[in-house]
Amino acid sequence: MAKYDFDIGILGGGSGGLTVAAGAAQLGAKTLLVDKEGKLGGDCLHYGCVPSKTLIMTSRVRHIMKRAGYFGLPEVDLSPVDFRNVVKRSQHVIGIIQKHDSEERFCKLGAKVEFGEPTFIDEYSIRLNGKNYSAKYWVIATGSSPSIPPIKGLDKTPFITNRELFSLKELPKSMIIFGGGPIGIEMAQAFARLGTEVTVIQRPEQILHKEDKDMADMVMNVLSSEGVSFYLKASIESIQDLGSEREVVIRTAEGVMVALRAETILVAIGREANVGGLALEQIGIDFDKKGIKVDDRMRTNHEHIYAIGDVNGKYLFTHAAGYEGSIVVSNAIFHLPRKADFTNLPWCTYTDPELANIGMNEAMAKAAGREYSVWTEEFRTNDRSLTEGEEVGKIKMLLDEKEKPIGIQILGPHAGELVNEWVAVMNGKVKFSSLVSAIHPYPTLGEINKKVAGNFLSTKIFSDKVKKGLKFFFNLKGRACG
């Protein structure tokens, strides 16, 4: 040990880095945790998951208030939103979670926390705030930042990203969102529900382009019905600042040039790995704009240096960063050669209704050349969904040629919660007969999981072959009604 100051050093105190720090320190490894921001928690806590989901809830409450008449209540006369109060609530929630992600807590667990901008000076050492620190293992968990596209005029025009969005002083009257991915779409609906006039510009021919088109189109229809405007297959040609407004010129899918105006521009077209300033080139780490290259044990080309979370560009989710962190703890601390397996990775886009997934969707199955069959069930046949006033959405189950589930997509109320049953089913290799025969409480949204599996099983149970067998053995007399 004398050779190194620390057993493990972690650069980045976000979702991935904190997982490694907590695991390693509690297992007795001398742990150094470094973050450049002066606070722990990363993008998820400060500029991502937490403020966005808090904002989504606030906007949902307002949306339900607008629908008071539908629920048989007197119509509500809604005053305009004071966005400072919305930000206050979001900061309150962040403050509560921040305690869990605090320097004090990590110090209690046994990790040394340092703030500053580290630079690798060799494969085992960094320079930080004028001092050198060495460690036997290093973990790079520095996350990602919004990609800024090279659009003519953007460098001279004010715009915002997720870094500024959740601390705006006022609700924008109008907003043009560059990008129809999960961040752009979640925010489009939330701001539209709060009263902003929202336009989304998307280059691919569908929003949420990694999702199956039928599901993404359903989400788009809901947002359109709530007043969000979309330009699909559109390219942004230029942007200019007009003072109180910005003008964005786009080329539409039909090739027509259209000038759009809005008070605020939100850039949400993708993410870039935070690799700058670490001197990775100096120590020969293999990386490109998308991220640091890793193997399935999260090791870089230097086997004692790991890269996890958004910075490796694989799966940009908090739970993926946490999972990858657990792989590092297994490999670097327990010395168990554990590999990451993303076959049953779940994810969710928190629109209303939510769109949750686990495993493969149809687009992924086709790309992988997999044979599959699709089984569906609609939320409008789920009793609880109807009582909640939710009629949009469906569950889609993909089975492979051996009739095993390879993927589930759920578009519906609380889909992100509903997919958790499939996390257990798919990871635990639970048989459909067990899922279908298990008692689910009535009326619950979760019954849709049992129902879709039942749709498949009923083709086996209520088959002509079974009917013939029962008739033969037990002399059943057949249909009683024509």
Ligand X SMILES: Cc1cc2nc3c(=O)[nH]c(=O)nc-3n(C[C@H](O)[C@H](O)[C@H](O)COP(=O)(O)OP(=O)(O)OC[C@H]3O[C@@H](n4cnc5c(N)ncnc54)[C@H](O)[C@@H]3O)c2cc1C
Shortest Å, Cβ 312 to ligand X: 8
Task: Rule CB under 6 A: choose which of 172, 181, 309, 407 binds ligand X.
Answer: 309
Is 419 near ligand X (CB under 6 A)?
Answer: no
Stretch that binds ligand X, among 47-55, 67-75, 203-211, 406-414 (CB under 6 A): 47-55
Is 313 near ligand X (CB under 6 A)?
Answer: no
Show contacts with ligand X in window 319-358 (CB under 6 A).
Answer: 319, 321, 350
Angle at 133 between CA 130 and CA 137, to 5 degrees: 150
Toward ligand X, which CB reaches closer, 62 or 314?
314
Is 175 near ligand X (CB under 6 A)?
Answer: no
Toward ligand X, which CB reaches closer, 43 or 212?
43
Could you tell me which of 9, 35, 25, 6 has the C-alpha nearest to residue 110?
A: 25
Shortest Å, Cβ 183 to ligand X: 4
Which residue of this chain has its Cβ atom nearest to ligand X in the complex? 14
Toward ligand X, which CB reaches closer, 90 or 382?
90
- Cβ atoms of 197 and 175 within 8 Å: the answer is yes
Stretch that binds ligand X, among 2-10, 188-196, 303-311, 389-397 (CB under 6 A): 303-311
Q: How big is the site for ligand X, counted in residues (CB under 6 A)?
A: 37
Toward ligand X, which CB reaches closer, 332 or 452?
332
Task: Rule CB under 6 A: choose which of 33, 44, 160, 185 binds ligand X.
Answer: 44
* All residues at 6 or more sequence positions from 399 whose CB lies less than 8 Å from its CB, including other chains: 372, 373, 375, 405, 406, 456
Show contacts with ligand X in window 53-112 (CB under 6 A).
Answer: 53
Residue 319 backbone phi and psi in degrees, to 5? -70, -30
Stretch that binds ligand X, among 45-53, 234-242, 353-361, 394-402 (CB under 6 A): 45-53
Toward ligand X, which CB reaches closer, 359 or 454?
359
Task: Rule CB under 6 A: choose which of 274, 357, 385, 409 binds ligand X.
Answer: 274
**What residue type is 199 in one-letter code?**
T
Task: Rule CB under 6 A: choose which of 69, 149, 277, 469 binds ligand X.
Answer: 277
Give the interface with ligand X as residue ranges (CB under 6 A): 11-17, 34-37, 42-44, 48-49, 52-53, 117-118, 141-143, 162, 183, 274, 277-278, 309-311, 316-319, 321, 350
